[in-house]
Amino acid sequence: MRCRKCDTSAVINMRQHKLALCGPHYAEWFIAQTARAIEKYEMFSREDSVLVAVSGGKDSLALWDVLLQLGYRADGMYIGLGINDGVPYSDQSLEKTRAFAAQYRNVIASTFTSLSVNSAKQSPSNNEIASSQKPLLAMTQSHIPTLHIVDVEATYGKTIPEIAREKTRGHGKPCAACGLTKRYVMNRLAAEKGYAVLATGHNLDDEAAVLMQNTLHWSVEYLARQSPVLRAHSNRFARKVKPFVRFYERETATYALVRGIDYIYDECPHAGGNLTNFYKTLLNQLEAQSP
C-alpha cells in the first residue's frame, strides 16, 4: 500500500475516502480536516480562548496537539478522578498529560530561541522567511499552553469511586457519578477562567454509539442535544464543541502515533460493561459486514 501523494509506504488506508497516506501526509490531512470541521460547524474563531478537556488518552491529547498546530489559543484541563484502586489509572493518565504539556512548552520555547538566533546571524529577505521558516513563524503566533489540573479528592474531599459507592450503596459502576462530576468541573473551571469554548475529543465512533443508544432507548431529550456544537445557554457557560466528530477512532489513534504522542493505552478499569463500548462493538461489526 503506497501513499497517494508521494508513493512511499502508507501508514493508513481510509476506505471511505479511498485514500492511503504516509505519516507526514496523513498528519497534514488530519489537521486540515479538523480545520474544515471547525469552520463548517462554526465552532470557534481565532479570537476565542479554548479549554481542551484532556484525560491522557489519544483523542484528547491529539485534539490539543492539532489546535496548537493550527495556532489556536488552546489550554488543557485535566481532572484527577482518583481512580487508582487496583491499577494506578489516574496517576498514569496524569503523568502522560503532564509530559505532553511540558513537551509542547519546550517545543515552543525552543522555536522562539531558534528564530531569535537565526535573526541575529543574518537578515533574510521576506521571501526567504516565507519559504524556509513559515512553520516556525506560525508557532510563534500561538501562545504557550497552560495545563489546569483539578484534583477531585483535594477539591471535594472524596475520589470518584468513593462518591459512586455512596450514591449506589456499593452497587453499580461509578460512570454516572464520574460523568456528572466531570461536567460540573469542566463548566465551573471554564467559567472561572473565562474560556469561551470547551472542546472535547469525542470522535465519530463515540457519537455514533451514543446516537444508537439514545435512539434505541428513545431518549428524545438527549437526541435533541447531540450535536458537534452545543451553544451556551448564557454568558456564564462556555460553548461546547467536538472538532473530531468526523474522524473514526482509528484515525485519531493513527494521528497520535504519527505525531509521537505518548498516551495512556489502558481503558478505565471501570469501563467493562459500559453501554457505549457495547454499541461501539455492534457498529464495528455492522461496518465490517457493510463498509
- Tens-digit pLDDT profile for residues 28-86: 999 999 999 999 999 999 999 999 999 999 999 999 999 999 999 999 999 999 888 77
pLDDT in tens, 228-241: 999 887 778 899 99
CATH class of the region 12-284: alpha beta
pLDDT above 70: residue 135: no
Scored b (16 or more CB within 10 A) or e, 210-241 reads: bebbbeeeeeeeeeeeeebbeebeeeeebbbb
pLDDT above 70: residue 262: yes
Report the alpha-carbon distance of residue 61 to residue 76 in Å, rounded. 9
What are the boundaries of each domain within the chain?
Answer: 12-284
pLDDT, position 18: 93
240 or 144, higher pLDDT: 240
Contact, 5 vs 28, CB < 8 A? Answer: no
Q: Report H helices in 88-148.
A: 89-121, 126-132, 134-140
Give me the mean pLDDT over the 16-24 stretch.
Answer: 95
pLDDT above 50: residue 129: no
